[in-house]
């Protein structure tokens, strides 16, 4: 992992909903202090943890439904929620939505700069502008002034799909492509950067620097290239995303490849994973990505499970899904829980986990921090495992147990005895003609 890139910092929110910092760590003497913008006078800020954003899928003017969706996304762990404001009735709804929600809200503005002014007036916490469709200089300046007066940051979000002026695409491609000839998507990248530079100049002329930048594409390689270049040219915090990533099943791979690569390289201050699905998955998967990279501290349990193989003698897939659901609803401390199929890798994972089970022939042995606490039938595994997780959570909260502390070394049980499995025994019995189908109780 490369250390996080230093940037300016923006802060989104207010006293009521709390303030969420994005980026930071840039000191005046830093080589990037003057990058893109006109210098940096502010004292260096601590670099903030990477945050997770999402966007509501319903109509903003449907106030009750919008508020309910924001509550759901907040409960799932979204740090910031964005809402679309295509019409005046949407910005008119904002005041009420803001009064009823407890997370910083961003107004996503396209085409109509007046929506941005109305959103600022309503008390929104940040504005997103798209240089591809709000590019009248006087209008942009009006929005900048309104945000400056209200002390609000702006995200300048270019999207591959909306920056390319179709009429002069070929000409611009020729002119600019040479700049990034080493990249597969050289000309697109050049247009994106040129568009950003041109747009940000308007902000700098107004002495406005509370800016986050995004440069999204549906192509993961383009996203990696674009943010890598942008991170070297501008000192603003970066909002990462793959746009139009598609359904969750494939969009997840696209997003994780692009965002994971950038984050591992120290690039990215806030992320939005986007799926053609319920945005709750965007929040869950965004958080999981950050936990996996060690960029955020996990709030609930971490589940480790084996993929199963020809040694499995319990219904592990169902068990894992049930354990996952229970852990999600009942466990709020970052304990490690392992659900393993057999004695081959079970003891190793159980040793590293706080609570673990590894299975045998329709049985499971349960461990808490390396100590064996039960040997139960398959149909009792879920309840007993969860009971141990809850007891362990209580012990951690009471200060009687420490996360990640192993008390004893696990001695792997004899697969022929305690676990009732023993593939050699089974093979021998099969040879003798015994009817012992794998998995049969």
| Placement of tokens 């407890």 in the chain | 102
- Give the shortest CB-256-to-ligand SF4 separation in angstroms: 23
Task: Tell me: does residue 344 bind ligand SF4 (CB under 6 A).
Answer: yes
Cβ(146)–Cβ(119) under 8 Å? no
Cα separation, 322 vs 194, whole angstroms:
51
Residues 345, 347, 352, 356, CA torsion sign: positive
Cα separation, 329 vs 231, whole angstroms:
38
Task: Count how many Cα atoms sit within 13 Å of the Cα of residue 226 in the half-sphere of its side chain.
Answer: 34
Q: Which residue is nearest to ligand SF4 (CB)?
A: 341
Range in contact with ligand SF4 (rule: CB under 6 A) among 8-16, 126-134, 321-329, 336-344:
336-344
Structure tokens at 303: 């589940």
Task: Tell me: does residue 100 bind ligand SF4 (CB under 6 A).
Answer: no
- Give the shortest CB-441-to-ligand SF4 separation in angstroms: 17
Looking at the Cβ atoms of 131 and 360, the one nearer to ligand SF4 is 360
Beta strands, E only, 369-432 = 371-377
Task: Tell me: does residue 345 bind ligand SF4 (CB under 6 A).
Answer: yes
Chosen residue from 309, 325, 403, 408 binding ligand SF4 by CB under 6 A = 309
Task: Tell me: does residue 233 bind ligand SF4 (CB under 6 A).
Answer: no
Structure tokens at 50: 């990477």
Looking at the Cβ atoms of 245 and 342, the one nearer to ligand SF4 is 342
Cβ(187)–Cβ(160) under 8 Å? no
Chosen residue from 71, 72, 112, 311 binding ligand SF4 by CB under 6 A = 311
Looking at the Cβ atoms of 294 and 310, the one nearer to ligand SF4 is 310
Task: Tell me: does residue 420 bind ligand SF4 (CB under 6 A).
Answer: no
Task: Tell me: does residue 350 bind ligand SF4 (CB under 6 A).
Answer: no
- Give the shortest CB-427-to-ligand SF4 separation in angstroms: 16
Structure tokens at 396: 């951690």
Task: Tell me: does residue 340 bind ligand SF4 (CB under 6 A).
Answer: yes
Task: Tell me: does residue 337 bind ligand SF4 (CB under 6 A).
Answer: no
Task: Tell me: does residue 308 bind ligand SF4 (CB under 6 A).
Answer: yes
Task: Tell me: does residue 342 bind ligand SF4 (CB under 6 A).
Answer: yes
Within 10 angstroms of residue 201's Cβ, the number of other Cβ atoms is: 12
Distance of CA 176 to the CA centre of its chain: 33
**DSSP code of 319?**
H
């Amino acid at each position: 992992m490369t250390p996080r890139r230093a940037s300016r910092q923006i802060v989104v929110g207010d006293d009521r909903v709390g303030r969420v910092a994005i980026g930071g760590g840039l000191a005046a003497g830093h080589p990037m202090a003057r990058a893109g913008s006109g210098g940096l006078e502010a004292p260096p800020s601590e670099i903030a943890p990477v945050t997770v954003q999402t966007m509501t899928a319903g109509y903003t003017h449907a106030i009750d439904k919008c508020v309910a969706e924001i509550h759901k996304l907040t409960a799932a762990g979204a740090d910031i929620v964005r809402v679309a404001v295509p019409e005046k009735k949407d910005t008119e709804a904002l005041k009420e939505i803001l009064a009823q929600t407890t997370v910083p809200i961003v107004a996503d503005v396209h085409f109509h700069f007046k929506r941005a002014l109305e959103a600022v007036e309503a008390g929104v916490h940040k504005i997103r502008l798209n240089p591809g469709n709000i590019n009248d200089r006087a209008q942009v300046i009006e929005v900048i002034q309104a945000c400056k007066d209200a002390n609000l940051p702006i995200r300048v979000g270019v999207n591959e799909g909306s920056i390319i002026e179709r009429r002069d695409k070929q000409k611009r491609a020729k002119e600019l492509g040479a700049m990034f000839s080493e990249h597969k998507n050289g000309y697109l990248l050049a247009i994106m950067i040129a568009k950003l530079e041109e747009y940000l100049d308007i902000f700098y002329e107004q002495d406005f620097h509370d800016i986050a930048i995004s440069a999204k594409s549906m192509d993961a390689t383009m996203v990696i290239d674009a943010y890598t270049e942008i991170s070297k040219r501008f000192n603003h915090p970066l909002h990462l995303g793959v746009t139009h990533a598609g359904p969750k099943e494939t969009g997840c791979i696209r997003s994780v490849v692009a965002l994971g690569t950038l984050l591992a390289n120290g690039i990215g201050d806030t992320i939005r994973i986007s799926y053609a699905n319920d945005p709750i998955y965007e929040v869950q998967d965004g958080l999981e990505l950050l936990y996996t990279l060690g960029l955020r501290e996990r709030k609930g349990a971490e589940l480790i499970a084996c993929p199963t193989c020809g040694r499995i003698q319990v219904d592990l897939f169902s068990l894992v899904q049930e354990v996952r659901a229970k852990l999600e609803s009942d466990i709020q401390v970052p304990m490690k829980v392992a659900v393993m199929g057999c004695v081959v890798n079970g003891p190793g994972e159980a040793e590293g986990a706080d609570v673990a089970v590894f299975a045998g022939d329709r049985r499971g042995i349960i461990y808490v921090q390396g100590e064996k606490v039960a040997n139960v039938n398959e149909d009792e595994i879920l309840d007993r495992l969860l009971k141990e997780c809850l007891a362990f959570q209580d012990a951690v909260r009471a200060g009687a147990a420490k996360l990640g502390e192993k008390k004893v070394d696990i001695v792997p049980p004899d697969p022929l005895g305690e676990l009732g499995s023993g593939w050699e025994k089974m093979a021998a019995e099969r040879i003798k003609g015994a009817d012992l189908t794998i998995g049969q109780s």
